[in-house]
Amino acid sequence: MPEEFTTADEVRLGRQVYQALSRGDVDAVMSVFAPDAVGVFDMSAADETFEGAEAIRRFIEDWFRSWEEYRYEEEEMLDLGHGIVLFFLRESGRLVGGSGRVEQRVAHLTTWANGKIERVRTYLDPDEARAAAERLAQEREQAQRVALADPSEPPIGRAESAAPEN
């Protein structure tokens, strides 16, 4: 049976994640990550990739230790279907030992399956995030169509090459 992509719960859970992040409640945040989730975080100079929920947890905990205060405010949320939800957020806070405030607009592209985040990708460029989210939603829609048309066909990206017969 093909994987079902519904986002009503994911949107609600995503909003709760950002509220929990603003409270510094890492346990609540991590409760929606799949054990094998992947996080790709745009850190200006280069992306940093974390594989597995525990690695993502350590990144988030380290991130919060560098802030005296920190919060997210949701500006816009796009439910693109097929388990793809894009959040546009305003981050603000004050670094430990700092006197000024930091504020920036970011986007988080989340991919959901079975009520859990399987991948999160942060973007400092909201236009880049929107384009990536639209591409990903189209790819997942196409994969779902293929799976529905021929259930014996493996989903796109999961096909294995068969060894040639002798």
Alpha-carbon gap, residue 76 to 107, rounded angstroms: 9
- Residue % of the chain over a pLDDT of 70: 84
The answer to whether position 45 is within a domain reads: yes
Residue corresponding to tokens 């994640």: 17
Torsion sign, CA atoms 139, 112, 48, 86: positive
The answer to whether position 164 is within a domain reads: no
* Count of structural domains, the chain: 1
Cβ atoms of 98 and 68 within 8 Å: the answer is yes
CATH of the domain at 111: 3.10.450.50
Residue corresponding to tokens 């236009």: 127
Q: How many CA atoms lie within 13 A of 49 on its CB side?
A: 5
Pairing of strands 102-113, 116-123: antiparallel
> What is the enclosing helix (H) or strand (E) of 118?
strand 116-123
The answer to whether position 161 is within a domain reads: no
C-alpha closest to that of 140 among 65, 81, 64, 91: 81
Q: DSSP letter at 67? A: E
> What is the enclosing helix (H) or strand (E) of 81?
strand 67-81
What are the pLDDT digits (tens) for 110-141?
A: 999 988 999 999 999 999 999 999 999 999 88
For 55-75, what is the mean pLDDT? Answer: 91
Q: DSSP letter at 45? A: S
What are the pLDDT digits (tens) for 41-51?
A: 987 667 889 99
Is residue 144's pLDDT more than 60? yes
The answer to whether position 1 is within a domain reads: no
Q: What is the pTM of this model?
A: 0.80
Which domain does 60 fall in, by range? 8-149
The answer to whether position 133 is within a domain reads: yes
Alpha-carbon gap, residue 83 to 106, rounded angstroms: 20
The answer to whether position 96 is within a domain reads: yes
For 151-157, what is the mean pLDDT? Answer: 56
